Amino acid sequence: MRTEGLWGGAAALGSVSVAFGSMLWSQQKTKPEKAATGSNHADTNADSPYELKLVQILFRHGARTPLKSIPDIMEAQWVPTLLEPPPHTSIDYVVTDLQGGPRPPAPIEDSYRKNILSGGTFPGQLTTLGMQQLYELGKRLRGRYIEESDFLTSTFNPAEVYVRSTNIVRTIESAKCLVAGLFQQKQKAIVPILTSEAESEILYPNYHGCKMLKILCGHRWAESTTLPDIAADLQSIQSELGIAAHQKVDFILIRDDMVARETHGLPCPQVLDTWRDKVEQRAVDMMCHIFEPSKRESLQLSVGPLLHMLVDNIEEKLQGTSSEPSRKVFLYSAHDTTLIPCLLALGIFDMRWPPYAADLTVELHQNRKTNEAFVKVSYVGEDQLIRGCSAVYCPLEEFKQILSTYSLSPDDYHSHCNRTVGPTEP
């Protein structure tokens, strides 16, 4: 079992810089959060006019310890017993780089482990509850892709299923727990979980690997806290919580600690009871301002390479050029700050923070009679009508046209990231 090695060496965008750190790994919904649930009613049986060919699932990790406690208030006790793995989430797995070599250095996780929360655990760690949430997501996917159809075999096969995660312990462990639920711990080989070098990671907005993204979003981040409504509400909540004026706080940080406490049944300042919905609203307002959905470049640089990869996987499947012709499923273990810009790019963000274990699923179907390709997208188990698509089963050419606004090839991404002149917007 490869579990103990995950607890050393890895690092959080959050800790590298206070501003970006709070944003990058901020969290969840405003009520004590359960794993995302939903029912996908699409056909996977032989009577459907569509044949399922490929599934790509981008999902958020499960419940975790906070990244940082709200200052000047009573701290919750994040004790080690909250992080014990349930036996049914155990599988044999190994973490590698994208080529199958040794796991890369993990500076984000390393930065977490420079701090200890009250109670004795590190910030940003997957809890027992979070592990169970991903196991339950795996079981839901099992129902759709194994029990209701024979799309996948019932035992993990690396030729069929590709697993990639950000190089952070909570996402690696989330991937492990999802696979345990999906295959009920049955595997014909060790499960490889692939990770990228921090500088080239594309499964989150990479402020440290993309200079232009850091410039764009750094400006928008600072600006977001000075917007009149947000600034007024922030001043009010700081006063009611008794947070000293010199403390650097924002609604994303407050939300992160608040939701983590509530989800795990830990005490929360009573003042937050009346602020819960407002904290949610302002945190989302901040994210929308930071990513500038009305403009193009911020979303391009945040998730452009990821969207390009999703389309590439579809094209390779249709053209039969994949190096793994038997591959049917791509699993990508990521973050809320991955899902939000993806949802914005697709025009389906519902102005709610993505819950723990939320999944954005992209299915490739072919018409059994005409062989025409269609893409169907679901979010937390519910089918979505993508902005610009003529139907839920979106013709592939329509889908590609929509994504082309934000998708960036690796070369174009690096070219945009390294520009030194001011950004231009179409």
Query: Residue 111's pLDDT is what?
Result: 96
Lowest mean pLDDT among 4-8, 134-138, 218-222, 347-351: 4-8
Using the predicted structure, report yes or no on whether residue 3 has a pLDDT greater than 90.
Answer: no
Query: Residue 312's pLDDT is what?
Result: 98
Asked if residues 69 and 76 have their Cβ atoms less than 8 Å apart, the reply is yes
Query: Residue 16's pLDDT is what?
Result: 30
- 179: number of CA atoms within 13 Å, CB side? 34
Note whether residue 370 is domain-resident.
yes
Note whether residue 299 is domain-resident.
no
Range of the domain at 339: 50-196+312-399
Top-confidence residue, 363 or 5: 363
Query: Residue 115's pLDDT is what?
Result: 96
Using the predicted structure, report yes or no on whether residue 308 has a pLDDT greater than 70.
Answer: yes
Token output for 189? 């080989």
Lowest mean pLDDT among 55-64, 290-299, 392-401: 290-299
Using the predicted structure, report yes or no on whether residue 295 has a pLDDT greater than 90.
Answer: no
Catalytic residue among 61, 208, 264, 335: 61
Query: Residue 46's pLDDT is what?
Result: 66
What are the tens digits of pLDDT across the range 123-162? 999 999 999 999 999 999 999 999 999 999 999 999 999 9
CA-CA distance, 324 to 390, in Å (whole number)?
32
What does the radius of gyration of the chain's CA atoms come to, in whole angstroms?
A: 21
Shortest CA distance to 367 belongs to which of 311, 318, 312, 313?
Answer: 318
Asked if residues 179 and 88 have their Cβ atoms less than 8 Å apart, the reply is no
Query: Residue 292's pLDDT is what?
Result: 82
Note whether residue 407 is domain-resident.
no
CA-CA distance, 306 to 412, in Å (whole number)?
13
Percent of all residues in the chain with a pLDDT value above 90, rounded to a whole number: 85
What are the tens digits of pLDDT across the range 166-186? 999 999 999 999 999 999 999
What are the tens digits of pLDDT across the range 241-280? 999 999 999 999 999 999 999 999 999 999 999 999 999 9
Percent of all residues in the chain with a pLDDT value above 70, rounded to a whole number: 88
Using the predicted structure, report yes or no on whether residue 236 has a pLDDT greater than 60.
Answer: yes
Q: Mapped to the 3 state alphabet, what secondary structure does the chain carry?
A: CCCHHHHCCCECHHHHCHHHHHHHCCCCCCCCCCCCCCCCCCCCCCCCCEEEEEEEEEEECCCECCCCCCCCCCCCCCCHHHHCCCHHHCCCEEEEECCCCECCCCHHHHHHCCCCCCCCCCCCCECHHHHHHHHHHHHHHHHHHHHCCCCCCCCECCCCEEEEECCCHHHHHHHHHHHHHHHCCCECCCEEEEECCHHHCCCCCCCCCCHHHHHHHHHHHHHHCCCHHHHHHHHHHHHHHCCCCCCCCCHHHHHHHHHHHHHCCCCCCCCHHHHHHHHHHHHHHHHHHHHCCCCCHHHHHHHHHHHHHHHHHHHHHHHCCCCCCCCCEEEEEECHHHHHHHHHHHCCCCCCCCCCCCEEEEEEEEECCCCCEEEEEEECCEEECCCCCCCCCEEHHHHHHHHCCCCCCHHHHHHHHCCCCCCCCC
Average pLDDT along the chain: 90
| 320 burial via Cβ count (<10 Å: 0-12, 13-18, 19+) | exposed
- Buried-state track 362-392, b at ≥16 Cβ within 10 A, e below 16: bbbbbeeeeeebbbbbbbbbebbebeebeeb
What are the tens digits of pLDDT across the range 183-205? 999 999 999 999 999 999 999 99
Give the confidence band of 422 by pLDDT, cuts at 50, 70, 90. low
Using the predicted structure, report yes or no on whether residue 19 has a pLDDT greater than 50.
Answer: no
Note whether residue 211 is domain-resident.
no
Lowest mean pLDDT among 200-214, 288-302, 340-354: 288-302
Asked if residues 364 and 372 have their Cβ atoms less than 8 Å apart, the reply is no
Using the predicted structure, report yes or no on whether residue 10 has a pLDDT greater than 50.
Answer: no
Top-confidence residue, 332 or 219: 332
Query: Residue 45's pLDDT is what?
Result: 62
Give the confidence band of 20 by pLDDT, cuts at 50, 70, 90. very low
Token output for 264? 């795990």
Query: Residue 28's pLDDT is what?
Result: 33
pTM: 0.90
Q: Which residues contact 371 (CB under 8 A, 6 or more apart)?
A: none
Note whether residue 39 is domain-resident.
no
Establish whether 233 is a catalytic residue.
no
CATH of residue 136's domain is 3.40.50.1240
Catalytic residue among 308, 336, 365, 416: 336
CA-CA distance, 49 to 368, in Å (whole number)?
6
Beta bridge partners of 55: 329, 363
Query: Residue 48's pLDDT is what?
Result: 87
Using the predicted structure, report yes or no on whether residue 6 has a pLDDT greater than 60.
Answer: no
Using the predicted structure, report yes or no on whether residue 362 has a pLDDT greater than 50.
Answer: yes
CA-CA distance, 347 to 405, in Å (whole number)?
12
Number of domains in the chain: 1
Note whether residue 239 is domain-resident.
no
Establish whether 335 is a catalytic residue.
no
Using the predicted structure, report yes or no on whether residue 42 has a pLDDT greater than 50.
Answer: no
What are the tens digits of pLDDT across the range 314-361? 999 999 999 999 999 999 999 999 999 999 999 999 999 999 999 999
Note whether residue 271 is domain-resident.
no
Give the confidence band of 293 by pLDDT, cuts at 50, 70, 90. confident
Token output for 136? 């339950």
CA-CA distance, 206 to 222, in Å (whole number)?
18
Q: Phi and psi of 383, rounded to 5°?
A: -60, 145
Note whether residue 159 is domain-resident.
yes
